[in-house]
């Protein structure tokens, strides 16, 4: 039986426990001197690493600008991101960066635009590797650009990027060999995606296509819409977390579940029953930077109040769970 404190080895990286910090944009943070990332971000991630998270997935970072060092890839941003990675390593956390491709209508993209996006997707991964991140997670979830590629009902493309699951996953799988050739052998390439309801078979086929292409890890959130289907009796987590358990049964690579996982009992349930390999905590980690240590030591948590209007999307200092944590 797996335990929360068991390490998990992914591509030679020893993740020290099964608790992951989910990627979360810190909307009200400021960068320094015109950069997007800065001291506030550095402190934020160091606190969660100190708090015991085994794996930290840094918030969505737009790939655009990675090729020409603009946008979120300026010198100052790179310096801050490097510092984030270094600090997390000091506390023994594994660290990855989530890579985002905006919110475009993929059915309207020209071949040249797709090529340019892929060049930025690749370059962003190479840069993350150079900065000391153990891997990247491509954001194929939540209705954004990459999500639309893999969604069978949205994607109406008639070229190599539309049609069957292999084609819909190609936006990433095509560049994966180049990423592998230009990063070290332990560099993790992961995908965050959904189950793609109502046809979970569409999501499962894409998950298998990613696995076959050599993706190392899947993080199952939601696709175009959150699932609302009931969970089996006795399953003590949300339908979205259940999506992760469903995908886990279909693939042989590690799977992360996420969504409304709030306490030790739920984490134990998911890990000890082998439903998934890792659990990601979003708002729980915002409310309690020491979330992982508190769960591991069975100590009381400073819990997310579940206020339903998460102030971290607007002004985190208003979070009812406590200011400026």
Contacts with ligand FMN by CB under 6 A lie at 22-25, 59-60, 98, 139, 141-142, 192, 221, 258-261, 281-284, 310, 312-313
**Smallest gap from residue 311 Cβ to ligand FMN (A):** 8
**Smallest gap from residue 142 Cβ to ligand FMN (A):** 6
**Smallest gap from residue 249 Cβ to ligand FMN (A):** 21
Nearer to ligand FMN by Cβ, of 152 and 220: the residue is 220
CA distance 191 to 276: 15
Angle at 196 (CA atoms; ends 314, 230), nearest 5 degrees: 85
Nearer to ligand FMN by Cβ, of 173 and 259: the residue is 259
The residue whose Cβ lies closest to ligand FMN is 282
Nearer to ligand FMN by Cβ, of 5 and 26: the residue is 26
Nearer to ligand FMN by Cβ, of 166 and 224: the residue is 224
**Smallest gap from residue 281 Cβ to ligand FMN (A):** 5
Rounded (10°) CA dihedral 87, 96, 68, 120: 180
CA distance 253 to 208: 10
Nearer to ligand FMN by Cβ, of 59 and 243: the residue is 59
**Smallest gap from residue 280 Cβ to ligand FMN (A):** 7
């Amino acid at each position: 039986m797996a335990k929360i404190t068991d390490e998990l080895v992914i591509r030679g990286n020893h993740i020290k426990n099964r608790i992951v910090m989910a990627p979360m944009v810190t909307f009200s943070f400021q960068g320094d001197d015109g950069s997007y990332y800065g001291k506030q971000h550095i402190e934020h991630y160091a606190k969660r690493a100190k708090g015991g998270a085994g794996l930290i997935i840094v918030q969505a970072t737009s790939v655009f600008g990675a090729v020409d060092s603009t946008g979120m890839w300026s010198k100052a941003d790179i310096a801050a991101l490097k510092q984030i990675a270094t600090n997390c390593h000091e506390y023994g956390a594994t660290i990855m960066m989530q890579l985002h491709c905006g919110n475009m209508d993929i059915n309207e993209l020209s071949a040249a635009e797709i090529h340019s996006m892929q060049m930025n997707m690749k370059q962003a991964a190479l840069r993350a590797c150079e900065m000391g991140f153990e891997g990247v997670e491509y954001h194929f979830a939540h209705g954004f650009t990459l999500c639309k590629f893999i969604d069978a009902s949205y994607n109406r493309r008639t070229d190599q990027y539309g049609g069957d699951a292999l084609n819909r996953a190609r936006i990433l799988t095509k560049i994966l060999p180049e990423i592998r050739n230009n990063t070290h052998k332990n560099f993790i390439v992961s995908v965050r995606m959904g189950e793609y309801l109502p046809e979970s078979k569409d999501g499962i086929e894409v998950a298998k296509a990613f696995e076959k292409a050599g993706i190392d890890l899947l993080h199952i959130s939601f696709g175009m819409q959150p699932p609302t289907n009931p969970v089996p009796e006795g399953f003590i987590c949300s339908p979205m977390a259940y999506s992760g358990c469903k995908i886990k049964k279909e693939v042989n690579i590690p799977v992360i579940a996420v969504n409304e996982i709030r306490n030790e009992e739920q984490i134990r349930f998911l890990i000890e029953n082998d439903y998934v390999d890792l659990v990601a905590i979003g708002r729980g980690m915002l409310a309690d930077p020491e979330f992982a240590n508190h769960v591991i030591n069975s100590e009381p948590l400073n819990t997310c109040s579940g206020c339903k209007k998460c102030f971290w999307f607007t002004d985190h200092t208003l979070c009812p769970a406590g200011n400026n944590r």
